[in-house]
Amino acid sequence: MTGGAGFLGSHLCEQLLSRGTEVVCLDNLITGSRRNVEECARNPLFRLVECDVTRPLSVAGEVDLVLHLASPASPKDYQRLPIETMLVGGQGCLHALELAADKGARFVLASTSEVYGDPLEHPQRESYWGNVNPVGPRAVYDEAKRYAEALTCAYRRERGTRTGIARIFNSYGPRMHPDDGRMVPTFVCEALRAEPLTVAGSGEQTRSVCYVSDTVRGLLALADSESEGPVNIGNPHEHSVRQLAEMIRELVGSDSPIDSTVGAVDDPQRRCPDITVAGEQLGWQPEIGLREGLLRTIHWFAGQLGADTASDRV
């Protein structure tokens, strides 16, 4: 797996290990950390190889499955690392595909709902081609993922590689970085620290957030299938950013005010997956409700920040 020491990757490593699968995690730790996989590292089936996947890869022995997750994922990270993001979506994906083709392995790309850009179709189905500004500040991520999807399809067509593409929608949960700038960790940490919650723009823009265990189950279902995708993996319950901020504040039991900050450039205004394909092809749907997922997340962040909050009831 590439990117296994990140947020989603570390949970995926844990699930694979719990099935008795040997896991080689290739990660340069640019946005991930050893700490994320310190539990995994106690398992003899796990190996972390610190390397940059934009350079050619070699893994000894048989490989059944290549999961390509390496990429900065939060807008703050990919705008701080624009060239690295383009390279890992391009060269990194190429090397992961080469590895899969050489080993005769199944390949799964962690793509994103960002391929839909600021969508003109709602909810988003896999058949929608998207509305991406190719020269805006989000383009390094969106276009790298669109390129990665095209490259993945080229390997399927030209080399017969057994590929699958997951279009992952906003996921959240333990091990997100408190400072990675994404909405859920930012609001949770602000509420726990009794600071104002910084809602960007009107707060009327929407997201549909999926708890990490559901996302990981969806990725594994895709890996276990022969589906070529793309398949949306996300929770179809849509909320405005302001509603999410209010719910997090309530669940933390905080009096923090909700502040409006400058809206982000090219911020998608609506985001909600149609998950019919995931249901039909993978038998997958999310199971963890928003309140439950947020409470688990708050509980974890409270432990990290050493804060004493109402979430201790979890």
Instruction: Give me the residues that bind ligand UDP (CB under 6 A), please.
Output: 74-75, 170, 181-183, 186, 198-200, 205, 207, 241, 264, 267
Asked if 205 interacts with ligand NAD (CB under 6 A), we say: no
Q: Which is nearer to ligand UDP, 118 or 149 (CB)?
A: 118
In the list 17, 40, 52, 223, the residue contacting ligand NAD (rule: CB under 6 A) is: 52
- Write down the least CB distance from residue 205 to ligand UDP, Å: 4
Contact, 183 vs 247, CB < 8 A?
Answer: no
Q: Which is nearer to ligand UDP, 116 or 155 (CB)?
A: 116
Q: Which is nearer to ligand UDP, 68 or 138 (CB)?
A: 138
- Write down the least CB distance from residue 306 to ligand UDP, Å: 22
Contact, 115 vs 146, CB < 8 A?
Answer: yes
d(CA 194, CA 245): 13
Q: Which is nearer to ligand UDP, 205 or 213 (CB)?
A: 205
Asked if 188 interacts with ligand NAD (CB under 6 A), we say: no
Asked if 222 interacts with ligand NAD (CB under 6 A), we say: no
Q: Which is nearer to ligand UDP, 133 or 281 (CB)?
A: 133
Q: What is the 3-state secondary structure (H, E, C) of 120-146?
A: CCCCECCCCCCECCCCCCCHHHHHHHH
Q: Enumerate residues 55-84 that contact ligand NAD by CB under 6 A.
A: 69-73, 77
Asked if 6 interacts with ligand NAD (CB under 6 A), we say: yes
Q: What is the longest distance spanned by two Cα atoms in the chain?
A: 58
Residues 116, 141, 155, 211: which is the catalytic one? 141
- Residue 231: in which H helix or E strand, if any? strand 231-233
Q: Which two tokens stand for residue 235?
A: 């929770």
- DSSP character at residue 166: E
Asked if 23 interacts with ligand NAD (CB under 6 A), we say: no
- Answer with the entry of ligand NAD, ligand UDP, none that 218 interacts with (C-beta below 5 to 8 A by kind): none
Contact, 302 vs 241, CB < 8 A?
Answer: no
- DSSP character at residue 305: H
Active-site residue, 116 included? no
Other beta carbons less than 10 A from residue 255's beta carbon: 8
Q: How many residues does the chain have?
A: 314
Asked if 126 interacts with ligand NAD (CB under 6 A), we say: no
Contact, 187 vs 196, CB < 8 A?
Answer: no
- Answer with the entry of ligand NAD, ligand UDP, none that 293 interacts with (C-beta below 5 to 8 A by kind): none
Contact, 26 vs 32, CB < 8 A?
Answer: no
Place of tokens 């990429």: 71
Asked if 227 interacts with ligand NAD (CB under 6 A), we say: no
- Write down the least CB distance from residue 212 to ligand UDP, Å: 14
Distance of CA 234 to the CA centre of its chain: 10
Nearest to 170 by CA among 312, 3, 13, 293: 293
Q: Which is nearer to ligand NAD, 23 or 254 (CB)?
A: 23
Which residues are annotated as catalytic?
Answer: 141
**Where do contacts with ligand NAD occur on this chain (CB under 6 A)?**
2-3, 5-9, 26-32, 52-54, 69-73, 77, 88, 92, 110, 112, 168, 170-171
